[in-house]
Structure 1
């Protein structure tokens, strides 16, 4: 919003080399105050666009992480190497949090401070312009008013003097021509000479007035310089405050954007590398052998004499067994593999031992491990843990928490890197490396 017309704006570009002391040239300084308001808008727009970029980037990271988490979970990768794959996704999730925080802080801290400063330093008038701009222009106009009037008078005196000089020059030429013209009478020559004399007198008078007007300007110059300097310093004070504030705002922007000094950001990559370093091919191969290979337990088929009890069992449909009844009364007994191992836990006693199936399972083809229901878990004491990072649950069965929150871990980490926990009355899953025991 400007108190100046479009014509004035054009004049500024054309008159950019004219002196500040010339009439009206203070308007460039006044316009600078108007420009400061617009620069606030531009800077806010710049930062809002950057915040939007951060927001979109964070969203893309989250979507990417969710997509590949599903692919990895459904894929054939396993063990600590699977954890290493998922560490890449954890990095994206945590980086999402940091970039979302950048977006929030740019808008909530920096942009908000610029808007507040702009409101405090620019006060709109009812009709047009800002009070600060109008007051500054009025101060310049008053400081220049008398000097401008003297200058106008001097210009007019100069114009009159130059016109008299021109008329005198013409009269002198006419006089010289008349003196050599024998066709003119003495009276005609006398009139031409009188005209030249009058022109000379007029020129002298005009010169005196012109010189006097210049003296008046010179006498008023010190006062004019003083008054204009006072107004110019006011304009400089306005601009000094703006420049200092903009510097502070941009330093605040740097502080928000500089992830190199962000401790949380550094931890992301420290933890990322630690997880990658923990990837152990031998452990993974050993786990595979125990769960899917030669180290699995096996109840080998054995001959059993026919009995009514055995006969009744063999008539039942098999569920989850490999084999079933072998013809002619030979029963292939049910068998059960060792319990599943998590990718991070290889200390289970069943890991290195070919554990035979329990007697209970041998006699029950439908044996299975029942999961605890939520009612039981609500009363389970568990272990208190403290959240290391913020986490927003993506699925309905996931917990959400902030760094520093304390809650209860109900079940240890599974093979996919998740623990079950309880926050208040909510039970759900959370990434195992996002919390640590207290």
Structure 2
């Protein structure tokens, strides 16, 4: 955004600007470029010192093992029910084919083969689903015990979490602070030097001498039409 502003100001500076006004314009553009650089640095530092740190804290501070098992169990459940549905439709198709006197032996065998395949697939999904349920059941008591421990440590955990947020707020304040940024001081000095050069009277005098009433212009003589 700031870089776009700098480019637009540079483009505008090519229009008819005279003497000190043009000088101040161009030097102000150069001063703003420092602000654009700092804005990019702020964005980079916020990502590195704040956002990435929050992501890492979440990654290493929360246990995912039980949730991972639950997710796998839910996926296995969906697969099992999906396969059961396909088996049900295959059996209906087989019943229709078997009762249809016009069906060939090849069609009947194909329908039966489809049923057999889905029965095996269903059984496989059922076994996976059942195993994951058993895994969850076997881990439930340990998980509950761990949860009670976590609840017992809740105050310490929450204190550490909030203290980490305080560190992040401090980091955010530091990366957005301008007091110690030399470019900020440099930008202010450039602005002050540029603005001090601005002189409206000098620009008007320059215009009059080169383009206005003080130019040596030979005005044409006009004949009197009545003579």
C-alpha distance 128-106 of structure 1, shift in aligned 2 (>3 A): farther
Are positions 1:258 and 2:199 aligned together?
no
Work out which of the residue numbers 245, 266, 271 in structure 1 matches 2:190: 271
Q: Is the 8 A contact 2:28 2:190 kept in 1?
A: no
Question: Kindly tell me: are residues 231 and 252 of structure 1, through their superposed partners in 2, closer, same or farther at Cα, counting changes over 3 Å?
Answer: closer
Alignment CA distance shift 1:135-1:245 (3 Å): farther
1:292 Cα deviation after fit: 6.5
**Which SS does the other structure have where 1:279 is aligned?**
coil
Tell me how far apart the structure 2 counterparts of residues 245 and 115 of structure 1 sit (CA, whole Å). Answer: 12
2:69 equivalent to 1:127: yes
Q: 2:33 aligns with which of 70, 85, 93?
A: 93
Pairwise CA RMSD of aligned residues?
3.4
Cα shift at 1:287: 6.0
Shift of 1:117: 1.9
Provide Cα deviations, 1:318-358, integer angstroms capped at 9, x if missing partner: xxxxxxxxxxxxxxxxxxxxxxxxxxxxxxxxxxxxxxxxx
Equivalent in the alignment of 2:162: 243
**Alignment TM-score, normalising by the size of structure 2:** 0.52
Match of 1:79 in 2: 19
Q: How far apart are the structure 2 equivalents of 1:263 and 1:136?
A: 54
**Residue among 63, 68, 81 paired with 2:9:** 68
Greater RCO, 1 or 2 (C-alpha within 8 Å, sep 6+)? 2
Residues 258 and 116 of structure 1: CA distance in aligned 2, closer, same or farther (over 3 Å): same
Contact map agreement 2:45 2:175 (CA 8 A) in 1: yes
Equivalenced residues, count:
144
**Post-superposition shift, 1:92?**
3.0
Q: Aligned partners of 1:136 and 1:127: how far apart in 2?
A: 12
- Where is the helix percentage greater, Structure 1 or Structure 2? 2
Instruction: Flag structure 1 segments of 5+ consecutive residues without an equivalent.
Output: 1-59, 142-229, 297-438
Aligned position for 2:43: 103
TM-score (norm 1): 0.29
Query: In structure 2, the residue corresponding to 1:127 is in which secondary structure?
Result: helix
CA–CA distance in structure 2, aligned partners of residues 248 and 258 of structure 1: 15
Structure 2: which 5+ runs fail to align?
A: 72-140, 216-227
Match of 1:378 in 2: none
Helix, strand or coil: the match of 1:259? coil
Please report how far the alpha carbon of residue 251 of structure 1 lies from its aligned counterpart in structure 2 after TM superposition. Answer: 0.6
Instruction: Say if 1:135 and 1:293 are closer, same or farther in 2 by CA, change over 3 A.
Output: farther
1:94 Cα offset (Å): 2.1
